[in-house]
Amino acid sequence: MLRRFSINFAVFSMLADMLVVGCSLWLAAVVRPALNTWPYIEVMSTPVRLPLTLYVVFPLVFLVVLSGFAIYDGRKFLRIVDEFAALSLAIVVASISVAGVLYLSFRDVSRALFLVFLLFSFASLFLWRGIARLIFRNHKDWPDETRLAVIVGKGPLREKVQERIEGMQSENLKLVGVISDESGGGEINVDSIERLVVDSMATDVIIALPHSRYDCLRAIVGGLEDLPVHVWVALGFFDLALYQTALEDFAGIPMLDLRALALSDVQRLIKRAFDILIGGLALLLALPLITLSALAILLEDGRPVLFRQQRAGENGRTFTMFKFRTMVKDAEQMRHLVEHRDEAGNLIHKTKDDPRVTRVGRFLRRYSLDELPQLINVLLGTMSLVGPRPELPYLVEQYQPWQRKRFVVPPGLTGWWQVNGRSERAMHLHTEDDLYYIQNYSFWLDILILIRTAWVVLIGRGSY
């Protein structure tokens, strides 16, 4: 029987994708003559015959590209948003690749037929995966390789790992136990770890110890050596992440460079050019939505329509950020109604039931339409399409030292924080996402975040 995370299912997925792509190409050839009556479409006689070579090349190209994006690694995409975002990017790259194949070989293939093929392929690749997820979800009695995790650790790092796993709410990754001595008077017992792993039939052990307790690492790993579990070490890299961390050869010894530049000059040039091109195009396409949103705010609560606010940008410099006004006019004076501190003393300044938000404002926030004016900031260069969250200066003043490391790159209209919880996560936790983005920056990560943002906004999860 197929299991979602088995090798058999990965092979099945590859064959299914190749079949879907081939069928989409055949179906596009069948449908193409029906478009003869459309304007600007060249009339083609029926039936449309494509070279047999394309029915082999197209599926193979899609297979190679999707494999390159790790689409067949089921464990990497526990959430549907993650899988569909990666699949979207992979399909775009595969589409460009097969277009190049046509340009270099069969140039007489109808462009309309090619566009229909892309439409069918895009829909089919998503559709069968959505159906597969529903089947696995509705048949929980089917055998599957659910990962059962045990966390061994102490302090904030253990809490972060535990919160992240519990927050995933995935049926295929469950936390079955935690070994921790928070009293400060004892040591973590290796025997108790082994007993818990055996009793809970755990598949993964995550060691989340502070740097000061790394002396326990060897004993813990040694005690688990004879057990059939994966052993992971969670690194508290947030304490070290000032710039990009790189593995370099230093005098023949591999070492971590903790002060490598976050973005090289070439990366900054590409990022800025991308912001101008895509930001300008997005602003042009969004003009109808911007007009309707402004009109709705004006009719409900009058002027001003735009909300201008000072935010902390790159290197901590303040700039004026533009948003649609979603709160009542005296919202700043009512800030005390929603601000509070959590058990750890971290400041929380957003709540789901914020009484200051208007009816139109709640709708705009639900679909992130209130952030459309920030495209102006992107064109001005004070923000980027993707980057850390632009923070309020008075909140920055309360930052801990490690949180200030997020200012080494420009703030973004969206970011890793946007696609991993949005407003559901506390402000101080956004910084960890920002540092992850800085540590792992690449142009492709920006593209992936933009695609995932579109999916998250459509689902409407975590926005208020």
For position 246, what pLDDT does the model report? 58
Q: What is the average per-residue pLDDT within 47-64?
A: 90
Condensed to tens digits (0 to 9), the pLDDT of residues 128-156 reads 998 888 887 776 544 456 778 899 888 88
- For domain 147-235, the question of CATH label 3.40.50.300 is answered with no
For position 39, what pLDDT does the model report? 75
- Is the Cβ–Cβ distance between 74 and 12 less than 8 Å? no
Q: Are strands 244-250 and 384-386 parallel, antiparallel or unpaired?
A: unpaired
- Is the Cβ–Cβ distance between 326 and 362 less than 8 Å? yes
* Ramachandran angles phi, psi of 70, nearest 5°: 60, 30
More confident residue, 186 or 118: 118
- Is the Cβ–Cβ distance between 161 and 152 less than 8 Å? no
Strands of the sheet with 204-208, listed across from one edge: 173-179, 147-153, 204-208, 230-233
Q: What is the average per-residue pLDDT within 47-72?
A: 89
Q: Which part of the chain has CATH 3.40.640.10?
A: 147-235
Confidence of residue 413 (pLDDT cuts 50, 70, 90): very high
Tell whether pTM > 0.85.
no
Q: What is the average per-residue pLDDT within 403-420?
A: 83
**CA 310 to CA 314: how far, in whole Å?**
13
- Is the Cβ–Cβ distance between 149 and 7 less than 8 Å? no
Which among 4-18, 160-174, 189-203 has the top mean pLDDT? Answer: 189-203
Bridge partners (DSSP) listed for residue 348:
340
More confident residue, 335 or 140: 335
**CA 88 to CA 9: how far, in whole Å?**
20
For residue 207, pLDDT beyond 60: yes
Number of separate helices (H) and strands (E) present in the chain: 14, 12
Q: Is 249 exposed, middle or buried (0-12, 13-18, 19+ CB in 10 A)?
A: exposed
**CA 328 to CA 336: how far, in whole Å?**
14
> Above pLDDT 90, what percent of the chain?
23
Q: What does DSSP assign to residue 169?
A: -
End-to-end CA distance of the chain: 42
For position 243, what pLDDT does the model report? 46
Condensed to tens digits (0 to 9), the pLDDT of residues 292-330 reads 999 999 998 888 899 898 998 887 788 999 999 988 877
For position 61, what pLDDT does the model report? 94
For position 241, what pLDDT does the model report? 44
Q: Is 309 exposed, middle or buried (0-12, 13-18, 19+ CB in 10 A)?
A: middle
More confident residue, 168 or 31: 31
- Is the Cβ–Cβ distance between 250 and 243 less than 8 Å? no
For position 248, what pLDDT does the model report? 58
More confident residue, 167 or 416: 416
* Ramachandran angles phi, psi of 141, nearest 5°: -80, -10
- Is the Cβ–Cβ distance between 449 and 420 less than 8 Å? no
For position 19, what pLDDT does the model report? 95
Residue type, 292: L
Confidence of residue 99 (pLDDT cuts 50, 70, 90): very high
More confident residue, 163 or 376: 376
**CA 381 to CA 320: how far, in whole Å?**
12
> Above pLDDT 70, what percent of the chain?
78
At how many degrees (to 10) do helices 265-285 and 287-301 cross? Answer: 60
Rg (CA), the chain: 26
For position 159, what pLDDT does the model report? 84
Q: How many CB atoms sit inside 10 A of residue 305's CB?
A: 16
* Ramachandran angles phi, psi of 157, nearest 5°: -65, -45
Q: Is 24 exposed, middle or buried (0-12, 13-18, 19+ CB in 10 A)?
A: buried
For position 213, what pLDDT does the model report? 72
**CA 156 to CA 422: how far, in whole Å?**
22
For position 226, what pLDDT does the model report? 76
For residue 331, pLDDT beyond 60: yes
Segments in 105-216 forming alpha helices (H): 111-138, 155-168, 190-200
User: Residue written as tokens 């597969």?
Assistant: 132
DSSP-assigned states of every residue in 242-277: SSEEEEEEETTEEEEEEEE-SS-HHHHHHHHHHHHH
